[in-house]
Amino acid sequence: MHLPVLQKEILEFFNPKPNENFIDCTIGEGGYALPILEKTAPAGKILGIDWDKEQIKNCQARLKEFKNRLVLVVDNFAHLKKIVAQTKFGLADGLLLDLGMSSWHLEKAQRGFTFLKNEPLDMRYNQDNNLTAEIIVNQWPVTEIEKILKEYGEERWSKRIAQEIERARKIKPIKTTQDLVSLVKKAIPTRYQHQKIHCATRTFQALRIAVNQELENLKKVLEQTIEVLKPDGRLAIISFHSLEDRLVKNFLQEKKKQNILKIINKKPITPSLEEIKINPRSRSAKLRTAILCHTPTNL
C-alpha cells in the first residue's frame, strides 16, 4: 500500500471538519482520502481524480465503505474545471495535488517506471496514451532525446547518453528498462556512477515526464485550482523535483502579489528524518500550502 507522504502535515493544514468537501487531484489508492473521509462524516465528499484507471479501481476497492461520499473520475487533472462541472461537485473546502508516483506504479504496474526491475519501457500513467518511453528512445531524433534529458532530467551527461542511445538502437531496438540502464552506464564516466542517487534516475525521470507531459499538465491545472475552491479554501501541493517545485512556487507567488492567495509556509515543508527512515521515497518531497483570499469564479 502506498505510504502517503507528509500525511500528518496535510491533515493538520486541511483540518477537515464534518461535511466539508475536498478534491484530491491524484487520488491513487486513497491514502490521503481515507482519513479525510473519516473526519468529514457524515456528509463530506471527496472528488478523486486519477489518470490511471487501475488506480481508480484500487481506490474503489480500498474505500468501498465510503462509496456514497466518494466521486471517482478517470481523467487528467489538467481538465479539473471540466471534471468539477461535469460531476456537479461544486466548490471545495480544500484541494490536494500530490505530484509523486505511487508505490503501486513502481512495484506492481510493470510499466518500466523503475530501473530496479527489468520491465517494458512503457512509463504511461494512462494506457490510452499513444506515446511510450520505448517510442521516444527508438524513434525520436537524438537532439530531441538530448533536450528532454537535459531539461526534464537536469542530466549533465545528456548528450553522451543520447548519443549512446542512438548508437545502440541502430543495432537493435531498446525494449526494456535494463537495456536503457546499461546504455546510461556506458555513457556516464565510471567515477560518476556511484553518487547518492542511481546514475539512471535522471534519465528515467526525464522520459516519464516527457511521456506523460507532466509539466504541461501541471501548468494547466495550477490556474484552475483557485477557480474550484471556496473563499478561504485550502490548497496543498506536493512536488518531488525542482522543475515542479519551481512552477508551483512561481504560481503561488504570482497569486500572492495579486492578493488571490495567502501563502502559509514561505519555505516548503519537507519530511522529517523519521518519515524518510520509514519511507525513503519521501526524501525529495516538498509541500507548499496556500489559502484562497478572494471570491472565485463560480462554475
CATH number assigned to the domain comprising residue 200: 1.10.150.170
Within a domain: residue 221?
Answer: yes
What gap in Å lies between CA 285 and CA 292, rounded to an integer?
A: 23
Domain stops at, among 212, 244, 260: 212
Percent of the chain's residues with pLDDT above 90? 82
Contact call for residues 206 and 155 (beta carbons, < 8 A): yes
The pLDDT score that the predictor gives to residue 282 is: 86
**Residue 72, SS3 per DSSP:** strand
CATH number at residue 13: 3.40.50.150
- Residue-wise pLDDT for 128-151, tens only, equals 999 999 999 999 999 999 999 999
> How many whole angstroms separate alpha carbon 63 and alpha carbon 14?
20
Q: Which residues lie across from 97 on neighbouring strands?
A: 237
- Look at residue 299 in the predicted model and tell me its pLDDT: 43
Q: For all residues of the chain together, what is the average pLDDT?
A: 93
Within-domain flag for 2: no
CA dihedral 270, 273, 242, 101 (to 10 degrees): -90
Could you give the residue ranges of the DSSP H alpha helices within the chain?
7-14, 33-39, 53-62, 80-87, 103-107, 133-139, 142-153, 158-171, 177-187, 201-212, 214-225, 242-257, 273-278
* Domains of the chain: total: 2
Q: Helix-strand-coil percent breakdown of the chain, rounded to 5?
A: 50, 15, 35
Nearest to 47 by CA among 38, 56, 39: 56
70 with 87, same domain?
Answer: yes
Question: Would residue 1 count as lying in a domain?
Answer: no
Domain termination site, one of 212, 243, 259? 212
Same domain, yes or no: 201 and 223: no
Range of the domain at 164: 109-212
Residue-wise pLDDT for 59-114, tens only, equals 999 999 999 999 999 999 999 999 999 999 999 999 999 998 777 667 787 888 88
Give long-range contacts, CB 8 A cutoff, 24+ apart: 184-187: 187/157, 187/160, 187/161, 187/163
Q: Would the pLDDT of 126 be above 50?
A: yes
Same domain, 200 and 116: yes
Whether 252 is in a domain gets the answer yes
Give yes or no: residues 207 and 225 share one domain.
Answer: no
pLDDT at 267 over 50: yes
Average confidence (pLDDT) over 247-255: 97
Confidence (pLDDT) at 279:
86
279 and 241 in a common domain: yes
Query: 160-190 pLDDT, tens per residue?
Result: 999 999 999 999 999 999 999 999 999 998 8
For residue 194, the model assigns a pLDDT of 73
One domain for residues 274 and 247: yes
Same-domain pairing of 99 and 133: no
> Which three cell numbers, joined as nine digits, stand for 257?
502579489
3-state SS assignment for residue 92: strand
CA separation for the pair 126, 218 (Å, rounded): 16
Q: Which three cell numbers stand for residue 272?
A: 522529517
Question: Is there a contact between 5 and 271 (Cβ–Cβ < 8 Å)?
Answer: yes
Does residue 298 fall inside a structural domain? no
What per-residue string of b and e applies to 241-273 under the rule 16 or more CB within 10 Å gives b?
Answer: bebbbebbbebbeebeeeeebeebeeebbbbee
Whether residues 223 and 238 fall in one domain: yes
Q: Which of 3, 45, 10 is nearest to 235 (CA)?
A: 10
Q: Within this chain, do residues 21 and 151 fall inside the same structural domain, yes or no? A: no
**CA distances to 9, 24, 36, 44, 68 from 17, in Å:** 16, 16, 9, 8, 18
Residues 78 and 134 in one domain: no
Final residue of a structural domain among 212, 241, 275: 212
User: Beta strand 261-263 with 70-74: parallel, antiparallel or unpaired?
Assistant: unpaired
| Within a domain: 39 | yes
**Structure pTM?**
0.92
Q: Are residues 188 and 277 in the same domain?
A: no
**Pair 231, 202 in one domain:** no
CA-nearest of 24, 65, 19 to 44 is: 19
Domain presence at residue 299: no
Residue 126 lies in a domain: yes
Supply the pLDDT for residue 294.
65
